[in-house]
Structure 1
Amino acid sequence: MAQLRQVLSDAGFQQVRTWIQSGNAVLRSDLSAKEVELRVHQLIKEHIGPDLAIVVRTGHELRQMLDNNPFLGDEYPIARVFFVSFQESPAEEKVQALLAQDFGQEKLRIDGMSAYMFIPQAFSDSKLSNNFLERKLGVAATTRNFNTITKMIAWAEEEQDVATPHKISS
């Protein structure tokens, strides 16, 4: 993550912060979210190596995602809710086909560029996963837990008065 911070800073992004080894960064940029996605993808591939899909959200978009969480209340402990950001909107027919499946106690909701998964057991034992959603929907995605999302929102809101920050997930 130190290398990612350095590469992004050297490329002119401002106030770059990374969150542990989570693949998340918050930064300031005058570029659009799509431009940041493309630029960061290029920088990582060129300077670090992997050819990763990059998903960018503004602090406001992350806050909206958290506010739209359909899994609330005692029956859905927040530690078992996972937040998914898609790089682009999945095709509606693929969404409907996926939502028609029965995942047992696991729950899935998809709302445009976001999805929400309630996974009551260990995430590693779940049928639902980031890779599963990418494969079924044909779009790049990134999945984060509540703690990571709230940390990214807090950092983004610290910088909100200065410029629009972006979250990067790989």
Structure 2
Amino acid sequence: MAQLENSQQVALLRGINVGRAKRVAMADLRKLLGDLGFAQVRTVLNSGNVVYDGGAVAPAEAAARIEEALVLKLGVAARVTVLSASQFAELIEQNTLAPAADAARLLTLVLNNSADIQRLAPLLQRPWQPEALALGRWAAYAWCPDGVLASKVVASLGALLGDGVTSRNWATMQKLHALLNGPEVAATSAKEH
């Protein structure tokens, strides 16, 4: 069982099922990953969040395979960010804004390239109040009390990173974390929020 847990990965597809653009049914997405040889493929919500067993395939290679298959099999071009289960756990642990924030207004901006976090460090010096910004190794975290669309933090992050980042609210990240860690974590998460 430990081998399965160590080989679990999370894939986040950027910009699918937003409005009428890039429509992908989750059943088609699960089948696509299964056809690529990934096992135990599960999706969360309808926005391109996938947990699966990646076997011996490294996250970067999995992302490239999924991106290519999306175009070839479904006709959809989308950036895909893949994190291993341990990277995702670290991402969850490093969010210093989580305890005080409403999960729906706390945005996690997951980086395609973790080295990009260095480009974001100067943003920590800006006065964002009432918003807030925190950085981890794999993501930036933005507290958006007035909503994501009105957020100056999110606009600044987007201007610096473009399509090198994909975002999810904290509630979605918690659901993915629970799915990675089994029913006992899911029950604890449900009690906390």
Q: Quick check: TM above 0.5?
A: yes
Identity %: 26
**Which residue does the alignment assign to 2:65?**
39
1:27-53 CA deviation, whole Å, 9 max, x = no partner?
A: 111201111111111111111122211
Q: CA RMSD in A?
A: 2.3
**Which residue, out of 124, 141, 161, partners 1:137?**
161
| Aligned mates of 2:84, 2:42 — CA distance in 1 | 14
Calculate the TM-score normalised by the size of structure 1: 0.79
Q: Is the CA contact (8 Å cut-off) linking 1:98 and 1:136 kept in structure 2?
A: no
Counterparts of 1:1-170 in structure 2, within 5 Å, are 1-30=26-55, 31-74=57-100, 76-88=101-113, 89-90=115-116, 92=118, 94-129=119-154, 132-137=156-161, 140-158=164-182
Question: Cα 1:113–1:17, aligned 2, differ >3 Å: closer, same or farther?
Answer: same
How far did 1:17 drift?
A: 0.9
Q: Distance in 1 between matches of 2:133 and 2:61?
A: 30
Encode CA deviations 1:126-170: one digit per residue, 9 max, x unaligned.
2333x75243135611111222112212222239xxxxxxxxxxx
1:143 corresponds to which letter in structure 2?
A: S
Using the alignment, how far apart are the partners of 2:175 and 2:122 within structure 1?
33
Question: SS of the counterpart of 2:166?
Answer: strand
Runs of 5+ consecutive residues of structure 2 not aligned to the other structure: 1-25, 184-193
Q: Quick one: which amino acid aligns to residue 137 of structure 2?
A: G
**Contact 1:83–1:146 (CA under 8 A) maintained in structure 2:** yes
Change (3 A) 1:155 1:3: same
- Greater relative CO, 1 or 2 (CA 8 Å, sep 6+): 1
- Maintained 8 Å contact 2:110/2:165: yes
C-alpha contact (below 8 Å) 2:105/2:144 kept by paired residues: yes
Structure 1: segments with no counterpart, 5+ residues: 160-170
Is contact 1:82–1:146 with CA below 8 Å preserved after alignment?
yes
Report the Cα distance in structure 2 between the residues aligned to 1:85 and 1:134, rounded to whole angstroms. Answer: 11
Give the secondary-structure state (helix, strand or coil) at the position aligned to 2:28.
helix
Q: Cα deviations across residues 47-92 of structure 1 (Å, max 9, x unaligned)?
A: 1122211111122222221211111444x33432221210102163
Kindly provide the CA deviation profile for residues 89-115 of structure 1, in whole angstroms up to 9, marking residues without a partner as x.
2163x3234334443311112223211
2: CA distance, partners of 1:2 / 1:27:
14
